[in-house]
Amino acid sequence: MSRFRLPKGGRIDRARPISFRFDGKSYGGFVGDTLASALIANGVHLVGRSFKYHRPRGIMTAGADEMNALVGVGADQTRYTPNMRATLVELYHGLVAESQNRWPSLGFDVGAVNDFLSPFFPAGFYYKTFMWPKPAWKQLYEPVIRAAAGLGKAPTASDADRYMQCYAHCDVLVVGAGPAGLAAALAAAETGARVILCDEQREFGGSLLASDTDTAIDGLSAIEWVAKAVEALARHENVTLLTRTTAFGYYPHNFLGLIERVTDHVAQPDPALPRERLWQVRAKEVVLATGALERPLVFPENDRPGVMLADAARTYAARYAARPGTRAVIATAHDEAYRAALTLKQAGVQIAAIADMRPQAEGEWPAAARAAGIEVMTGTAITGTRGRMRVSGATLARIKGDGTAEKGEQFACDLVLMSGGFTPSVHLFSQSKGKLIYDEGLKAFVPGASPERNRSAGACAGETGLHATLESGYAAGEGAVRAAGFGGGLSGRSLTVTEKISAGGGFAGAVPHGRNPSFVKAFVDFQNDSTSKDIKLATREGFLSVEHVKRYTTTGMATDQGKTSNMNMLGILSDTLGKPIPEIGITTFRPPYTPVTFGAFAGMSRGELFDPARRTAIHDWAAEQGAAFEDVSLWKRAHYFPQAGEDMHAAVNRECKAVRESVGVFDASTLGKIEVVGPDAAEFMNRMYINAWTKLEPGRCRYGVMCREDGFVMDDGVVGRIAADRFHVTTTTGGAPAVLNMMEDYLQTEWPDLNVWLTSTTEQWAVIAVQGPNARKVLEPLVGDIDLSAAAMPHMSVREGHICGVQTRLFRVSFTGELGFEVNVPADYGRAVWEAIWASARRFDAVAYGTETMHVLRAEKGFIIVGQETDGTATPDDVGLTWAIGKLKKDFVGKRSLARAQMSNPQRKQLVGLLSLDNRSVLEEGAQIVANPNEPVPMAMIGHVTSSYWSSVLGHPIALAMVKGGRVRLGDTLHVPMPGKTLQVKVVEPVFFDKEGARLND
């Protein structure tokens, strides 16, 4: 075993050894290790390279705040993930990881030349240069910058894993299962409340997992207490325990996003399990027990591999039985580093010295350290380190009264530990829009008041010491559960804690040193290589707001989002600007707390499930006939029905001819349908539609047009009056939801006095259109109780009866210009009735036709399609529908807007027909129309082609267009400039076939 693996202790399972690879080399570890702890236990500290200067970097933390040790994990591209924090990657057998942002190797990285050139690359250097010569930005500078930037590499293959999502409600959500969170959950669970407890780690316990051996809670060791607490929680059916689960976002109204990592730690995952699970939790009350993060010290060369946070080093020794070095120099402004020194000394690490910036260090921990024979130097700062791939020495110097330091003394070491105190993790609290209060003692912000129902407990609330943390956890749990409406509480709780108390303290800012500040690098944001001199440069250049400094220097913008850098940046700003920290303020905390996988947000919404595909009752029949389909909003619609060897045009030509000559059958089920019912139904229709409805008799239909408030056409469709108080409204396929929404909006907010009910019936009715001269003959044998004759059932009428024994609403309507019917039957009978109609129709050489043929046939008749002829800017008059407006109505939606001056400007675009002068060119839909083809660009465009088809029936192309003042241009020749040629068109009336409508009324 490696000499860096301690012979006993820790939370690793020595019975289950693991082998893994890092940068192609094989190593061993144990279940319970993280990648970081296993590397440390193998004596590996060099793990990555920094973003800008490509400086060698090691493992600095033991948790979510890691900014240096980022690795790519995954044996193949379908499961490769870049930028993983080695401190959070759980080890499993066969894990493959690699370092990033280096070429050709981690040890020899060409990019490190940036470090030598760094004097020319201060913060924001790129704003000042690369501007000359101008084309070089695109050709040279930007490609070079882009290639240099970025950390890991995105996977190149599609992800092989799946992700799931779930929703949950609870009375109390406890975030974080360290001592405070466990205590809060215990207190809340006791009352019977629904509790969810989540923690980002593989096991509950938080800081207690790295507890000192002599710490005791209620007579139990810390680990025993955790086990007992978890066991007690697990006994409650109302408690959900989520390990490996990070609460990453706090959204309005106590809505939190949690991400559970289900299989990333498993070598051979169960294929039935998702990789991750996104929990969206609505909690009555939230307890935040998110702990605190240790602050680095900002001193020259504080970034070398082997420089670590003191508490992280302690955690590696105590929790993972990994010895982070052999000889340590410790620099601190806080008592906890002494605790680390003692743990490490026990683990066989020689402690060269502890340099404490504070003038005195007299608490229980410093006393214990001194008693153990460790040299303690107070009033002393660390002013530099040596070594390149691994730290080899540190300089400690006495701090002078003027804020600088003496020359100092060199100490050989392979480990430098630092502690600037602890920053409460107020991320989620701040996301909840809670107010932060600056605590001078901690040199950090702590939670104040929140508009949400939450409370913070333990270290994230600024508590120090285990006893105080547990007390605040119990109190928060009790408080939360009472606020959620539960009585009682934890019965017979005792709390005795044996611990040494940290005196606290802390430091934020740049550590004093006697060296030339312009030529040393003291890192504030390690990953982004932003240094204390960068921050000073920013202030010199006038960037005085903390947000400006952040953006100009990129401090806090790395993948740890400022977890370790924000407070030090504020400290330096405070010094530089001579302003206290609370006056400088703090940058906004944004979700997520730690990065969250895109795939988890997408969940099952992929492929077919990306959007629900809506299919009609007749869909399968069409598919069996070999129909091609098109997407129309969520629907799959049969586009055309090709026969062997036919392309779309051949199929459409055949389908069109058959409808005009005999009969065609069309699935119109996707049209939106709304049942408008009630004593005030006619009045409601009068207000919603531009048409008049009062006089429409039951049994008759009318083509309805609906405008938005702004007077532009929004939707259209045939409306049948079934009874005095009942309308069968149809809408466009895509417009159905918006129409119903607008109707409901008006009904509920503007006209609550109207006695009307609205029901979407789109999916209740299957609709079969039978169109063509033989349509009546097709239906007659199938319909028993409805007289289909022209006299009994004229065009635009509706009857209720039966077809094939099935109840029907039978409309006589036509979108083709032919004699036509639309058979509405309950959707469950749709296919059976369709097949019966199809069998009947085949006696007449019928075709089944799709949307393309429908488009051609209606265009031949000049019927508009909302969304094709109209585009949200056309009034009813623009598309020739003035006749539909109920002139005597006092009001309807859009009427007032239609009265605006410009709405009746004769130069508005109007619907016209176009014929190609060459009689064969089919215009391109969307092509622009000009009066003068010889004008230079920009040309004056007077219109555009909205619909354009080859009419097989007429034997020439036809087009509809919107043209400025089009109705007075009838007969004019206009021009359609296309790339390379200009087509000539004649403006005609927008009806090409059966202008008199004789066929409709047959």
Residue at token pair 């998110």: 290
Q: Report the C-alpha gap between 335 and 385 in whole angstroms.
A: 22
Query: Least separation, in Å, of the C-beta of 860 and another protein?
Result: 17
With contacts defined by CB under 8 A, name the span among 234-242, 687-695, 751-759, 975-983 that binds another protein.
975-983
Which of 119, 401, 955, 980 lies at the binding interface for another protein (CB under 8 A)?
119
Which of 669, 733, 762, 921 lies at the binding interface for another protein (CB under 8 A)?
733
Which of 179, 462, 876, 977 lies at the binding interface for another protein (CB under 8 A)?
977
Contacts with another protein in 908-937 (CB under 8 A)?
924-928, 930, 937
By CB neighbour count within 10 A (0-12 exposed, 13-18 middle, 19+ buried), where does 274 fall?
buried
Q: Report the C-alpha gap between 885 and 865 in whole angstroms.
A: 18
By CB neighbour count within 10 A (0-12 exposed, 13-18 middle, 19+ buried), where does 137 fall?
middle
Q: What is the CA radius of gyration of the chain?
A: 38
Which of 368, 903, 917, 953 lies at the binding interface for another protein (CB under 8 A)?
903
Q: Which is nearer to another protein, 220 or 602 (CB)?
A: 602
With contacts defined by CB under 8 A, name the span among 381-389, 390-398, 500-508, 626-634 that binds another protein.
626-634
Residue 320 sits at φ, ψ, to 5 deg, of -110, 0
Contacts with another protein in 768-827 (CB under 8 A)?
none
Contacts with another protein in 267-286 (CB under 8 A)?
278, 280
Q: Which is nearer to another protein, 195 or 278 (CB)?
A: 278
Q: Which is nearer to another protein, 33 or 716 (CB)?
A: 716
Query: Least separation, in Å, of the C-beta of 773 and another protein?
Result: 26
Specify the 3-state DSSP secondary structure of 328: strand
By CB neighbour count within 10 A (0-12 exposed, 13-18 middle, 19+ buried), where does 121 fall?
middle
Q: Report the C-alpha gap between 984 and 925 in whole angstroms.
A: 15
Residue at token pair 């059976």: 832
Q: Report the C-alpha gap between 581 and 567 in whole angstroms.
A: 9
Q: How many CB atoms lie within 10 A of CB 774?
A: 22
Give the DSSP per-residue string, 660-702. Answer: HHT-EEEE-TTSEEEEEESTTHHHHHHHHBSS--TTPPTTBEE
Give 675's Cβ-side CA count (13 Å radius).
14
Asked if 434 interacts with another protein (CB under 8 A), we say no
Query: Least separation, in Å, of the C-beta of 170 and another protein?
Result: 17
Asked if 950 interacts with another protein (CB under 8 A), we say no
Q: Which is nearer to another protein, 133 or 373 (CB)?
A: 133
Contacts with another protein in 859-878 (CB under 8 A)?
865-868, 870-873
Contacts with another protein in 70-99 (CB under 8 A)?
79-83
Helix 179-189 and helix 466-483, axial crossing angle in degrees, nearest 10: 30
Asked if 711 interacts with another protein (CB under 8 A), we say yes
Query: Least separation, in Å, of the C-beta of 208 and another protein?
Result: 29
Q: Which is nearer to another protein, 151 or 187 (CB)?
A: 151
Query: Least separation, in Å, of the C-beta of 244 and another protein?
Result: 15
Write the interaction track for another protein spanning residues 454-483; mark x where CB under 8 A is met and - where it is not. Answer: ------------------------------
Q: Which is nearer to another protein, 540 or 843 (CB)?
A: 540
Q: Which is nearer to another protein, 156 or 749 (CB)?
A: 156
Q: Which is nearer to another protein, 73 or 230 (CB)?
A: 73
Q: Tell me if 941 sits within 8 A of 963, measured CB to CB.
A: no
Which of 613, 648, 723, 970 lies at the binding interface for another protein (CB under 8 A)?
613
Asked if 735 interacts with another protein (CB under 8 A), we say yes
Residue 809: closest CA among 789, 791, 786, 828: 786
Helix 336-346 and helix 364-371, axial crossing angle in degrees, nearest 10: 30
Q: Which is nearer to another protein, 307 or 983 (CB)?
A: 983
Q: Which is nearer to another protein, 206 or 300 (CB)?
A: 300
Write the interaction track for another protein spanning residues 578-607; mark x where CB under 8 A is met and - where it is not. Answer: ----------x-xxx--xxxxx-xxx-xxx
Query: Least separation, in Å, of the C-beta of 459 and another protein?
Result: 24
CA max distance for the chain: 113
Contacts with another protein in 402-431 (CB under 8 A)?
none
Q: Which is nearer to another protein, 492 or 980 (CB)?
A: 980
By CB neighbour count within 10 A (0-12 exposed, 13-18 middle, 19+ buried), where does 130 fall?
middle
Q: Tell me if 993 sits within 8 A of 954, measured CB to CB.
A: yes
Q: How many CB atoms lie within 10 A of CB 526?
A: 24
Contacts with another protein in 292-351 (CB under 8 A)?
none
Residue 143 sits at φ, ψ, to 5 deg, of -60, -40
Asked if 192 interacts with another protein (CB under 8 A), we say no
Contacts with another protein in 223-262 (CB under 8 A)?
249, 251-252, 255, 257
Query: Least separation, in Å, of the C-beta of 563 and another protein?
Result: 12
Pairing of strands 350-356, 376-378: parallel
Contacts with another protein in 124-183 (CB under 8 A)?
125-132, 134, 137-138, 142-143, 145-147, 149-159, 161, 163
Name the CA dihedral angle for 597, 603, 606, 608, rounded to a multiple of 10 degrees.
170
Query: Least separation, in Å, of the C-beta of 781 and another protein?
Result: 33
- Judged by CB under 8 A, the number of residues near another protein is 124
CA 355 to centroid of chain Cα atoms = 46
Q: Which is nearer to another protein, 445 or 552 (CB)?
A: 552
Q: Report the C-alpha gap between 976 and 943 in whole angstroms.
A: 9
Which of 941, 950, 953, 972 lies at the binding interface for another protein (CB under 8 A)?
941
Instruction: Return the H-helix or E-strand segment holding 175.
Output: strand 163-175
Q: Report the C-alpha gap between 58 and 70 in whole angstroms.
A: 9
Q: Which is nearer to another protein, 352 or 929 (CB)?
A: 929
Query: Least separation, in Å, of the C-beta of 867 and another protein?
Result: 4
Q: Report the C-alpha gap between 230 and 980 in whole angstroms.
A: 77
Write the interaction track for another protein spanning residues 823-852; mark x where CB under 8 A is met and - where it is not. Answer: ------------------------------
With contacts defined by CB under 8 A, name the span among 540-548, 792-800, 840-848, 985-993 that binds another protein.
540-548
Which of 24, 401, 487, 542 lies at the binding interface for another protein (CB under 8 A)?
542
Q: Which is nearer to another protein, 358 or 908 (CB)?
A: 908
Query: Least separation, in Å, of the C-beta of 842 and another protein?
Result: 29
With contacts defined by CB under 8 A, name the span among 417-425, 466-474, 800-808, 895-903 that binds another protein.
895-903
Q: Report the C-alpha gap between 645 and 136 in whole angstroms.
A: 53
Q: Report the C-alpha gap between 601 and 19 in whole angstroms.
A: 32
Q: Report the C-alpha gap between 21 and 734 in whole angstroms.
A: 54
Asked if 902 interacts with another protein (CB under 8 A), we say yes
Q: Which is nearer to another protein, 562 or 817 (CB)?
A: 562
Instruction: Go through 228-266 and write b for each residue having 16 or more CB atoms within 10 A of its CB, e for each that does not.
Output: ebbeebeebeebbbbbbbbbbbbeeebebbbbbbbbbbe
Name the CA dihedral angle for 259, 265, 269, 275, rounded to a multiple of 10 degrees.
20
* Rounded to 5°, angle at Cα 432 from 429 and 437: 50
Q: Which is nearer to another protein, 541 or 661 (CB)?
A: 541
Q: Report the C-alpha gap between 475 and 484 in whole angstroms.
A: 14
Q: Which is nearer to another protein, 280 or 755 (CB)?
A: 280
Q: Which residues contact 828 (CB under 8 A, 6 or more apart)?
A: 617
Query: Least separation, in Å, of the C-beta of 296 and another protein?
Result: 21
Contacts with another protein in 30-69 (CB under 8 A)?
51
Q: Which is nearer to another protein, 24 or 936 (CB)?
A: 936
